[in-house]
């Protein structure tokens, strides 16, 4: 089993030759997951081969989708396609910085107003206990959290674009980042931190602006942030909590999926296309909508972490955990090759898509986040395509 995963990884490395390629990153992620699961398999009521069944089919699908994209798309990419004028790129960055500067007052004002209303949702007790505040926000299927989360998301993209341009950290931007981290902490979401920091590190590595030492320190910082947020959301801070949390978030997702029985729904794509049905209901249709929070399963650890293939498996079985990852692998490689040709929109979107790739082991953030991906794409285009209060910038390489 391990040998087959190694063969897939080596094959992808030979094909793509860059560890920035998302197909290679995905192969590494699941190889690490399988090794960790193998070491801890006795903690779960399953056989390793049953878990391997889920891992290998989605991995083959993802890699196959990336390979199809390469065979179709990469043929049109010559070496000189990856060249671009440095003078033109600097000119484009000046244009983007201009837009960022104009949007700055709007971003800061929105952040301050959102923080004010977020604090109004809390009491002094819940403010000191992030767990209580988060419970208030995610109740009723997370309706209150939606707007606050979207604001955090857009501001994350704004800061990433700012860093992408290589802009200097003037005092006003330092203040913005401090307020942003405070606001994100109040939301109590590990995912929001991972989204921002994952995209940030990917951009910096792509642009060769970070050393291996700084990268290692950065990864350590991400892990520290995750544990701080995790501890802030619980009353139990003992050693058992730490061990169980590590097991849940590093190994329990596939065992939980193996143990949980498939719940076929009468609605096509009930779990996968949840967001589509949610929007259709707003226009007068009546579709049953899958809950955003998953039910808990005893593995014997109690967990509601199932990995990104859960909705595809529940809706479409084996076909779902092969074909949908293949589609995702195709999209990732499409963004990658466009980014190689200095397409700024593709590079920024690719960096944002590092988040759901990292979260594959823990959660599904592709179709569930469909509306968010649209918002992110529109915001990126607004900043780097349109000259705000001016004419369209049709000559920039976007």
- Rounded mean pLDDT of 128-155? 68
Q: Given this model, what pLDDT does residue 126 score?
A: 47
- Rounded mean pLDDT of 27-55? 89
Residue 24 CA to residue 103 CA, distance in Å, equals 36
135 pLDDT above the threshold of 80: no
Q: Given this model, what pLDDT does residue 227 score?
A: 65
**Is residue 309 assigned to a domain?**
yes
Query: Token match 């989708």: residue?
Result: 65
- Predicted confidence band of residue 77 (pLDDT cuts 50, 70, 90): low
Q: Given this model, what pLDDT does residue 129 score?
A: 52
**Is residue 93 assigned to a domain?**
no
Percentage of the chain lying above the pLDDT 90 cut:
36
Q: Given this model, what pLDDT does residue 379 score?
A: 95
Residue 295 CA to residue 90 CA, distance in Å, equals 50
Residue 9 CA to residue 59 CA, distance in Å, equals 10
**Is residue 85 assigned to a domain?**
no
Which range among 104-108, 216-220, 243-247, 325-329 shows the weakest confidence by mean pLDDT?
243-247
Instruction: Give 345's Cβ-side CA count (13 Å radius).
Output: 17
Burial class (CB in 10 A: 0-12, 13-18, 19+), 170: exposed
Give per-residue pLDDT as tens, 318-362: 899 999 999 999 999 999 999 988 889 999 999 999 999 999 998
- Rounded mean pLDDT of 368-391? 85
Most confident of 31-40, 123-132, 277-286: 31-40
Residue 268 CA to residue 275 CA, distance in Å, equals 13
- Rounded mean pLDDT of 67-93? 65
**Is residue 50 assigned to a domain?**
yes
Burial class (CB in 10 A: 0-12, 13-18, 19+), 206: middle
**In DSSP terms, which residues pair with 303 in a beta bridge?**
297
Looking at the chain, list the stretches that DSSP marks H as alpha helix, in order from N- to C-terminal side: 2-16, 22-39, 48-73, 86-120, 124-128, 130-164, 171-187, 190-206, 212-232, 239-250, 253-259, 274-282, 310-340, 344-352, 354-358, 370-385
Tell me the average pLDDT of the chain.
Answer: 82
Residue 55: name the closest of 261, 255, 194 by CA: 255
**Is residue 179 assigned to a domain?**
yes
> Domain of 379?
2-74+106-385
Specify the higher pLDDT residue, 129 or 301. Answer: 301
Domain count, the chain: 1
Residue 56 CA to residue 391 CA, distance in Å, equals 50
**Is residue 290 assigned to a domain?**
yes
398 pLDDT above the threshold of 60: no
170 pLDDT above the threshold of 90: no
Residue 11 CA to residue 379 CA, distance in Å, equals 36
Rounded to the nearest 5°, which phi and psi values hold at 252? Answer: -75, -15
**Is residue 325 assigned to a domain?**
yes
Contact status, residue 333 vs residue 72, Cβ threshold 8 Å: no
143 pLDDT above the threshold of 70: no
Answer positive or negative: Cα dihedral of 17, 19, 23, 25: positive
Percentage of the chain lying above the pLDDT 70 cut:
80
173 pLDDT above the threshold of 70: yes
Specify the higher pLDDT residue, 250 or 107. Answer: 107
**Is residue 174 assigned to a domain?**
yes
Most confident of 154-158, 217-221, 255-259: 154-158
Q: Given this model, what pLDDT does residue 169 score?
A: 77
- Rounded mean pLDDT of 252-264? 80
- Predicted confidence band of residue 395 (pLDDT cuts 50, 70, 90): very low
Specify the higher pLDDT residue, 131 or 188. Answer: 188
- Rounded mean pLDDT of 266-282? 82
């Amino acid at each position: 089993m391990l040998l087959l995963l190694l063969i897939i990884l080596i094959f992808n490395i030979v094909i793509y030759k860059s560890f920035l390629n998302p197909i290679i990153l995905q192969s590494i992620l699941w190889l690490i997951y399988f090794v960790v699961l193998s070491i801890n398999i006795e903690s779960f009521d399953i056989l390793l081969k049953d878990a391997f069944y889920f891992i290998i089919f989605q991995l083959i699908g993802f890699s196959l989708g990336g390979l199809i994209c390469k065979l179709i798309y990469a043929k049109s990419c010559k070496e000189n396609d990856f060249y671009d004028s440095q003078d033109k790129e600097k000119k484009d960055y000046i244009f983007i910085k201009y837009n960022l500067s104009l949007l700055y007052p709007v971003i800061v004002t929105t952040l301050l107003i959102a923080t004010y209303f977020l604090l109004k949702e809390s009491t002094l007790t819940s403010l000191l206990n992030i767990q209580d505040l988060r419970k208030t926000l995610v109740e009723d299927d997370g309706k209150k959290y939606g707007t606050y989360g979207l604001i955090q998301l857009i501001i994350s993209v704004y800061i990433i674009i700012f860093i992408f341009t290589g802009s200097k950290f003037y005092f006003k931007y330092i203040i913005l980042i401090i307020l942003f981290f405070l606001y994100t902490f109040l939301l109590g979401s590990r995912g929001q931190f991972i989204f921002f920091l994952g995209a940030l590190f990917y951009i910096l590595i792509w642009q060769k602006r970070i050393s291996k030492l700084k990268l290692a320190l950065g990864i350590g910082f991400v892990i520290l942030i995750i544990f701080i947020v995790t501890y802030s959301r619980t009353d139990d801070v003992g050693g058992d909590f730490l061990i169980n949390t590590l097991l849940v978030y590093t190994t329990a997702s596939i065992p939980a999926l193996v143990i949980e029985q498939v719940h076929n729904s009468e609605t096509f794509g009930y779990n996968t296309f949840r967001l589509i049905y949610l929007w259709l209901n707003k226009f007068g249709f009546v579709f049953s909508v899958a809950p955003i929070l998953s039910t808990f399963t005893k593995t014997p650890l109690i967990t509601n972490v199932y990995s990104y293939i859960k909705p595809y498996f529940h809706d479409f079985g084996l076909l779902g955990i092969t074909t949908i990852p293949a589609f995702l692998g195709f999209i990732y490689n499409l963004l990658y090759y466009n980014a190689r040709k200095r397409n700024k929109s593709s590079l920024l979107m690719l960096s944002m898509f590092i988040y759901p790739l990292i979260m594959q082991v823990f959660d599904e953030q592709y179709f569930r986040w469909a509306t968010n991906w649209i918002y992110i794409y529109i915001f990126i285009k607004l900043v780097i395509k349109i000259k705000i209060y001016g004419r369209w910038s049709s000559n920039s390489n976007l």
